[in-house]
Amino acid sequence: MFGKIRGAVRRVGRYVAARSARYLAGAAAVALSVVVLILPSPYVVEMPGPTQDVLGTVDSGTVIDVEGVDTYEDSGELLLVTVSALGVSGYPITNAQALWGWLNPQTSVLPREAVVPVGMTDEEYTEQNAESMSSSQDAAVAAAKTYIAAHADELGVSPDVLDEATVTMHVDDIGGPSAGMMYTLGLISKLTAVDEAGGQIIAGTGTIDENGEVGSIGGIRLKMQGAKRDGATWFLAPEANCDSVVGHVPDGLRDVKVSTLEEAYAALVAIGNGEGDDLPHCTA
């Protein structure tokens, strides 16, 4: 046995001796590169995530479920948009995957601490996203209630319709507050007999507060890509995000600048009526 080992060592020695120092240095560099590429990465790769029609359904039920009052169907779709991320809670990546992200124009690569605060555990990050989603849904109901009370006559509903309703929202595996505006528009649409979307596929993003103010969100360029991929031709964008929108709207997608629920609902109705061409869009 020891003789075989000595023989193997001699063969390796002869192989190494027959190669130049440059060759051996190159081989060592390749081996080191492979090791580095398979190590865990401190970066996060973001890409366009799934979209969801807030007027539709998911595995757990209707996305916006309203009980206790009459509801109505719309012939179009209102898409909330998301960003998928690798390198966050439950989705570790290697340096090779981060390199792929840098080379792919359809993705963004960020330091992990820019997405997950330093010191926050994966469990805390997941819990924070879930709490943000829950808060955005509560704000959506409050904003819709205020809007309906102020516009009940033109909407053709009772000003206190939501006082009589039980609203539950179901979205599987989506967190964060950025779908607030689309939840609000979806809820108003379900409570009115008006066919707001008019058969159009309209995507959008933005936080919402109880006063109907639409706030900025992250990842809007990736979200516009996801909207275009899933058939949207219109995109409601927060005015506060316009700097990131200008010059990055995919071909075939028309952005509409909004800063309030009033503007967003008016834009929705205009698009559904085929009158969206004059709606404001983001400018430099």
Q: What single-letter amino acid sits at 117?
A: P
Contacts of 8 (CB under 8 A, 6+ apart): none
Q: Annotated catalytic, 41?
A: no
Which residue is it, tokens 């580095």?
A: 36
> Is the Cβ–Cβ distance between 229 and 109 less than 8 Å?
no
> Is the Cβ–Cβ distance between 258 and 239 less than 8 Å?
yes
**Which entry of 145, 223, 228, 257 is annotated as an active-site residue?**
223
Contacts of 225 (CB under 8 A, 6+ apart): 48, 106, 250
Interhelix angle 21-38/95-103, rounded to 10 degrees, is 90
Q: Annotated catalytic, 228?
A: no
User: Cα torsion for 7, 9, 10, 14, to the nearest 10°?
Assistant: 140
**Which entry of 89, 108, 178, 189 is annotated as an active-site residue?**
178
Catalytically active residues, by annotation? 178, 223
